[in-house]
Amino acid sequence: MFEPRVPLDRLEKRILEFEQQPIQTGKILFYGSSGFTRWSPKYGMRPLEEDIRAKDGSLACINHGFGSSTAEELLYYYGRAIKPWAPRALVISIVHNDRGWGYSPNEIMTNLAKLLAAARTDFPGIRLYLCDARPTLKYNNDFVTRFCEEFQQLCREYCARHKDTKMICHADCAGFWKDPADAGIFDREKIREDIYVEDEIHFNQLGYDIYKDFMTNVLAEIL
């Protein structure tokens, strides 16, 4: 086993914010780091909850992204940030922060597997979605590419073993690349530059417009 590398209470303020919200059960709960967190009016974007709706137009999702989080923290806060909401589906996105804190792809997957096992036990029949690494302009070098490829393979293997879990592969979203034929090539020369804010990591509204269409298509079976 390995020791946590992050102070597990460092993002407590964000979890307290979740706990102050009215609890809505039976929704699709998005749980992860800043890619979800910033899908919010707080950062000048349309909210995720309004972008991804049920087929009848009703609200279908809850956004419990908390920026800079790692898989270790997602697992740590499961009982407070997920369980009370009793979601019918869970969408998880993580990776780059874990890499920054020194977790290996295998360690990330170990934590996620524990989280998914808990959700499966607590909510029989829940649908589970596991995202691989999002493309960014900033994180592009051989080490990061290998890291993300290894994590992606672990996700594929996990989903192959668990039929209730589906992998959301960002390479399947051709809209993130200048040329759709280059989808999946994590090279800043190939990735669109007009979909990111200045930090070259997070999406601007155009990026989230593309992400909305992609996620809506992926989740169509449960919307």
Q: What is the CATH number of the domain that holds 159?
A: 3.40.50.1110
Question: Residue 113 falls within a domain, yes or no?
Answer: yes
Predicted local distance difference test score (pLDDT) of residue 3: 61
Question: Residue 53 falls within a domain, yes or no?
Answer: yes
Residue 208 · residue 216 · CB < 8 Å: no
Residue pLDDT, tens place only, 52-87: 999 999 999 999 999 999 999 999 999 999 999 999
Question: Residue 205 falls within a domain, yes or no?
Answer: yes
Mean pLDDT of 193-209: 97
Question: Residue 3 falls within a domain, yes or no?
Answer: no
Residue 130 · residue 117 · CB < 8 Å: no
Predicted local distance difference test score (pLDDT) of residue 186: 83
Question: Residue 19 falls within a domain, yes or no?
Answer: no
Query: pLDDT band at residue 39, thresholds of 50, 70 and 90?
Result: very high
Residue 204 · residue 13 · CB < 8 Å: no
Sheet holding 89-93, edge to edge: 61-65, 28-32, 89-93, 127-131, 165-168
pTM of the model: 0.95
Question: Residue 116 falls within a domain, yes or no?
Answer: yes
Mean pLDDT of 15-43: 96
At residue 181, does pLDDT exceed 90?
A: yes
Question: Residue 10 falls within a domain, yes or no?
Answer: no
Question: Residue 137 falls within a domain, yes or no?
Answer: yes
Range(s) of the domain holding residue 143? 25-218
Predicted local distance difference test score (pLDDT) of residue 142: 81
Mean pLDDT of 81-104: 95
Residue 83 burial (CB < 10 Å; 0-12/13-18/19+)? middle
Number of separate domains in the chain: 1
